[in-house]
Amino acid sequence: MLANLKEWLQDRKQHLDLFDETKTAKQDNPLYIIGSLVWLSWMVVIVSGVILMLWYIPTTTGAYRSIEHITYDIPFGWLVRGMHKYAADMLIICITLRIYRMYFAGEYKKPGELSWMILFASLVLGMISGITGYLLIWNQRAFWAAKTVLTVPTYYDEIPLLGNTGLGHAITYIFLGGPAVGQATITRFYAIHFGISVVFVILAEVFFYRTRRRRLNLSPFVIVLVLAFLGWLSFERLTDMGRWANPNRTPLPILSDWYFLALYQLVKYMPPLWAGIAPALLIGYGMLVPFLDRTKETRPLERPLFFTVGMLALVYFIAFTALIMLNIAVISRDPPIIMAVTAVVMVAAFMWELVHRRRKARQAQTPPARPAPPAPRATAAAS
């Protein structure tokens, strides 16, 4: 078994493609420059983050003031902070788009399983880096968003068969560094936020060194255009400070970064136990989908069930985000409707999958048509 796993890893490593390095011939399609944009935005995040570290103070008393100082007192500090924030948003957007491209185009199938799994894990780690970086501002929204997110692991202690093992509270305690969000939390979040980038940079450099691939398959014009857009966005929409974190005053609604809003809304709709399990199930499905989809088809409509699941995830991401941003969600009304819609859609998807497979099986059993007999010669017809 270990030999098979080693052989599988060796084969997939040969086809590893994290930043679309092998797809330069397809760059007339915008969907195939996403990988390079992932790399570019990531580098902007790292460079701007290192500059921010020169002035940032990771303490509950100094964090907010130090970011104010960076934004309003340091020359071009607002630009560095804006580039860091908007490049991070761009990174999450590009990874998400790349995942959807791979999903609907079936690029996660052999030999792309390892590329898919690393990319999906990168999205999860990128979101963790986002929420840990979000707290570093130490304002009201960041404080309460972190507090809310860190309550989710405690629900693991309500799993019926396992009972209260204390694992969920232990996970929360490790991140908090104590019984509540405080100095130990900001220290841990700062270390995680910084550590994720460092580890990934080292791994990526080892990857490029061994494969001799190009890091960035973009023209200088496109690179300048992207950087100019991030600079313009930093100037036009100066990243706000919000109010200093106040543990005694709960903001309503509690909001986090945009890419957590849909998940946060989903968790609010569910009972506490499922609120803890659902994110783990979503991550598990994402990591294992190359092994769940066993067909050789790559076209989306030839994979009805997986196509429907992907579309459902996309629609729910947009809808839940809109509901929480517009503050129009009704907890007592929405969950039954969402459950009913989900059940109907999934039953329809299963039926579609069955019908599709039967049709493909009949086509496979149908013998090929006999070739038509040759037409009589014109000379023979004339005589």
Q: Is the pLDDT of residue 287 over 80?
A: yes
Residue with token string 């690029």:
107
Closest CA to 234 of 92, 14, 42, 44: 44
Span 346-362, average pLDDT: 93
Span 291-297, average pLDDT: 89
pLDDT score recorded for residue 375: 67
Question: Are 352 and 304 in contact, with CB atoms under 8 Å apart?
Answer: yes
Span 328-356, average pLDDT: 90
Q: Is the pLDDT of residue 15 over 80?
A: yes
Question: Are 145 and 260 in contact, with CB atoms under 8 Å apart?
Answer: yes
pLDDT score recorded for residue 383: 45
Closest CA to 303 of 237, 365, 353: 353
- Between residues 251 and 201, the one the model is more confident about: 201
Residue with token string 């460079």:
47
The H or E element containing residue 288 is helix 272-292
Closest CA to 108 of 352, 306, 317: 306
Residue 291 φ/ψ, nearest 5 degrees: -95, -15
How far, in Å, CA of 36 to CA of 21, rounded? Answer: 8
pLDDT score recorded for residue 379: 53
pLDDT score recorded for residue 130: 87
- In angstroms, what CA-CA distances link 273 with 165, 212, 277, 317, 363? 14, 47, 6, 21, 46
Range of lowest pLDDT (137-141, 191-195, 273-277, 284-288):
273-277
Under the banding of pLDDT at 50, 70 and 90, the label for residue 377 is low
Other Cβ atoms less than 10 A from the Cβ of 338: the count is 15
- What's the whole-model pTM score? 0.87
pLDDT score recorded for residue 107: 93
pLDDT score recorded for residue 98: 93
Q: Is the pLDDT of residue 132 over 50?
A: yes
Q: Is the pLDDT of residue 380 over 70?
A: no
> What is the DSSP annotation of 230-271?
HHHHHHHTPPP--PBP-TT---SS----HHHHHHHHHHHHS-
Question: Are 15 and 102 in contact, with CB atoms under 8 Å apart?
Answer: no
Report how far Cα 192 is from the mean position of its chain's Cα atoms: 18
Question: If you count DSSP H runs as helices and E runs as strands, how many of each does the chain have, helices first?
Answer: 14, 0
Span 30-57, average pLDDT: 93
Q: Count Cβ neighbours within 10 Å for each residue of 74-98 and write b for 16 or more, e otherwise.
A: beebbbbbbbbbbbbbbbbbbbbeb
Query: What does pLDDT average to over the chain?
Result: 87
How far, in Å, CA of 22 to CA of 35, rounded? Answer: 10
